[in-house]
Structure formats: C-alpha cells, structure tokens
Amino acid sequence: MSTPSQGLRVLAVDDVPPALDELCQLLREAPEVAEVAGAGDPLTALKMIHGGEFDAVFLDIAMPGLDGLELASLLAKLSQPPVIVFVTAYDGHAVAAYGIGAVDYLLKPLRAERLSAALAKVRKMVAAGGAPAAGGDEPIPDAMAALPVESAGRTRYVRRSEVRYVEAQGDYVRLHTRSGEHLVRMPISRLEEYWEGTGFARVHRGFLVALGEIKELRSDSAGGLLAHTDVGDVPVSRRHARDLRERLLQAARRSELDGKGRRG
C-alpha cells in the first residue's frame, strides 16, 4: 500500500474499452493518483491484483461471467484487500456495493469532481491502513467455480461441477447439465481461459467438455468422433481428437476419472 505522502496506485476494471479508457484517463489526471492500470475483464484484474499491490480498484458492475459485485467479494477475502470504488451506469446496486465494503459508488457518466471526492475517501482509507480484510492470508479464490445465470429477472448460480459440456453460441455459451441447459453471456474462448486446468478440455471450435464426465468415445455415422456424456454427445474435431485421447489416458492413469472414462 502507498503511504499518505505518495500518490495512489489504482486499477480500473471495465469490459467496455472506451469506458475503460475514459476512466483511466480521468484517474491519470487526478493529482491524488500516481499510477493507473487498466483491466478489460475480471480474470485479468484478479491476475494483476495477485501480481502486484494496488491501493484501490475502480470497478464496473455489469460485466459478463463475473460481475463487479462478485469480484469485489472475492477481493475482500484477501489479507490486504484494495479499497473498492464502484463506477457503474446503474443505480440499483448501491446497497449491495456498500454492504461489500465499497467506499463509494459513482454513476456514469463520471464527473471529475465526483471522482475527486471518491479519491479523497480512498486516501483516507489508505492512510488508516487500507480496507479491512475478511480473512487471513488466503490465495485469490476460484472466481469461476460457479456462473451466474439470468432467468425471468432472477439470478441463479450453476456450479462448474454440474456442467457436462459447454456449447458456443456467438457471444454466449450454453451450459449443459443434468438439470437442463443454461445460457450465459460469455464467449467460449473466455470461459476456456477461466476453466483451464479445472478438468475441461476444448474438443471442438464450439465445445468444451468435462473430462470426468466422458463415458466413452464413439464414432458417428459420418466417421467423426463423439465424446459421450450422460446429457448428450459432443463432437470432437480431428485436430483435437489425439489430444483428447491422450488426456483421457493420462487422467485414467491418475484415477481422475474414477473409472468413468474409457478410451474409444
């Protein structure tokens, strides 16, 4: 953390590039700020916070996959959490934001004088020792163990462990689970990045599959390869077939499939 005599080190997080650029510029122009970094998505923000110290994080709320409120909740669990300020176009989340421990809640379009007032609160908090920690010296939690799914004005969370496979649909992904299908606004390439190393494999341009849920590999009527799960078959492209077979074999050797996976 910076000392009161030093300028603040600030991270700005927004998934809309023009909005992120504008916020970073306003922060750079503020005399209270010494350094500004920008992150275009929550995963990048988590990596940057894990890799360096920031006095404050200015967060958008409406971001795909992991929203600003959820990211702030994760940051609050760090041993030395940064001070949180929300910057959003929506005024309906203020109660939740302050409940998480945010020091301010700024509405877009952002005015310089309003930003200055927020930075004064941040400096006061930093001088007092920073934001209170929610726990001990913990690693950054798993940000994508569950995904928020919006339906009929309500939000529910689908756990990664429930998902058998993921299907790309433009800027969305469809999560296939035993309880049904769930649509989430997130490109499959982004979700692959989040779930890398958690037992999911890219087996096709438009599909991710949970290795532990593959019952067997089958051939389709055209001679293509299918990964069979208990909620459906997943096409496996030729370029991914060899890698998938090797990963299934490796996983079986490590007993990660608990006897469920079989080579085709």
Continuous H helices in the chain: 17-29, 42-51, 68-75, 94-100, 112-127, 188-195, 238-253
Distance CA 195, CA 160 (A): 9
Q: Helix (H) and strand (E) counts for the chain?
A: 7, 15
C-alpha dihedral, 62 to 65 to 69 to 72, nearest 10°: -130
pLDDT at res. 43: 84
The CATH H-level superfamily of 8-127 is Response regulator (3.40.50.2300)
pLDDT at res. 139: 42
Average per-residue pLDDT for the chain: 84
Interval 130-142: pLDDT, tens: 665 444 444 444 5
The CATH H-level superfamily of 146-253 is LytTr DNA-binding domain (2.40.50.1020)
Per-residue pLDDT of the chain (264 residues; tens, 9 = 90+): 555 457 899 999 999 999 999 999 999 999 999 999 999 988 889 889 887 789 999 999 888 777 888 888 888 888 888 999 999 887 777 767 777 788 899 888 888 889 999 999 999 988 887 665 444 444 444 556 777 777 777 777 888 899 999 999 998 999 999 999 999 888 898 888 878 778 899 999 999 999 999 999 999 888 899 999 999 999 999 999 999 998 888 877 765 445 444 444
Largest CA distance in the chain: 71
pLDDT at res. 138: 41
pLDDT at res. 119: 94
Distance CA 199, CA 212 (A): 7
Q: Is 80 left (phi over 0), alpha (psi -120 to 50) or beta?
A: beta
Please give the structure tokens belonging to residue 89. Answer: 């176009």
Distance CA 127, CA 44 (A): 27
- Residue 263 phi/psi, 5-degree rounding, is -70, 145
Name the residue ranges covered by the structural domains of the chain.
Answer: 8-127, 146-253
Interval 58-112: pLDDT, tens: 999 888 777 888 888 888 888 888 999 999 887 777 767 777 788 899 888 888 8
